Structure 1
Amino acid sequence: MSRTLNQAMGDAHEKHIAETLGMRLTRGSGNQWRDQMDAKHDRTSTQYAFAVDGKSTLAKSISISRDMWAKAVEQAGGERPMLGLRFYDTGALKVHADLAACDLLDFAELLQAARLWEQAKPVLEALADRDPRCVPVIVDLARRVLEAEVEA
């Protein structure tokens, strides 16, 4: 059975999403009622767990509707919803652009966490270089700080 161009584009896109974001591909491209969306993180292992529905095209545009977003929110099943958008240049699967659409508040939370890490990293590295025995203490302190930040 030969695959269509649309199937090949979708499969390549879904695989790329999963590999790039460290996710698992869902069975049947999310067509199982208990495991929807195309790729997912595990919300029990990370605070920033996303579920992605991939959309790809050779056309000049991809439309995102309210219904499409509502479906992604519903099917995310506890993970943060995201739409992966891929534009192909040719039927040979040459990628023009890969984009991600997510809730602005989810993005803001990720950005805040990245900024906190950016500020803390040089201090933590200096402490670890000075006395490697303090690494477990630093890790525990960082965990508590991040948990307190999330609760705030």
Structure 2
Amino acid sequence: MSLNKDMGDAHERAFAELLGQRQSRGSGNQWRDPIDARHNRLDTDWAYASDGKSTLKKSISVSLAGWKKAVEQAGGERPSMPLRFYADGSLKVDADLILVDLLDFAEMREAAERWEKARRILASLTEAKPRCIPVLVDLARGLLAEEGHR
């Protein structure tokens, strides 16, 4: 096998495993299963389809045409481009990055902030005595009302 194929295969395995995605057969070269790896949008609101790029060089070129192709191949999942920079031919990783749509990232960040607020309430509930439950219910209502204003 060639070094480029080894780099691409190692990168695809790594990001698919890390992100909990299913790898596509043939590195996404099948018409019925394009793109390198994906989640299933029926399983989660945060389903991504990923088209990985890797290199030994100091830069990776990302074009608008390449991004539009990833959007098209995502087929309903959110598109992403995991980018991996290898330090050398031993496939030592120098940097792993990911390119996603700004609106998707903002939505994900907002959801993470809401979860942090909810997590604190849930943690309080697990430590609370029964008389504290009305206070926690009020906190939860406030959180949900805040959610309704977004």
TM over 0.5: yes
TM-score for the superposition, normalised by structure 1: 0.85
Q: Which runs of 5+ in 2 are unaligned?
A: none
Deviations 1:83-120 (A, max 9, x none): 11000010000000000001000000000000001111
- Match of residue 81 from structure 2: 83
Q: Distance in 2 between matches of 1:51 and 1:40?
A: 4
TM-score for the superposition, normalised by structure 2: 0.86
Q: Which runs of 5+ in 1 are unaligned?
A: none
Amino acid across the alignment from 1:115: E
Structure 1 residues 149 and 75: alpha-carbon distance in aligned structure 2, compared to 1, 3 A threshold: farther
Alignment of 1:27-66 (within 5 A): 27-66=25-64
**Per-residue deviation, 1:131:** 6.5
In percent, how many aligned pairs have the same letter? 57
Moved runs in structure 1, 4+ residues, more than 6 A?
none
Deviations 1:20-73 (A, max 9, x none): 111111111101111111110110000010000000000110010010001000
**Per-residue deviation, 1:122:** 1.2
Structure 1 residues 21 and 131: alpha-carbon distance in aligned structure 2, compared to 1, 3 A threshold: farther
Structure 1 residues 81 and 129: alpha-carbon distance in aligned structure 2, compared to 1, 3 A threshold: same
Count, aligned residues: 140
**Per-residue deviation, 1:13:** 0.2
Larger radius of gyration: 2
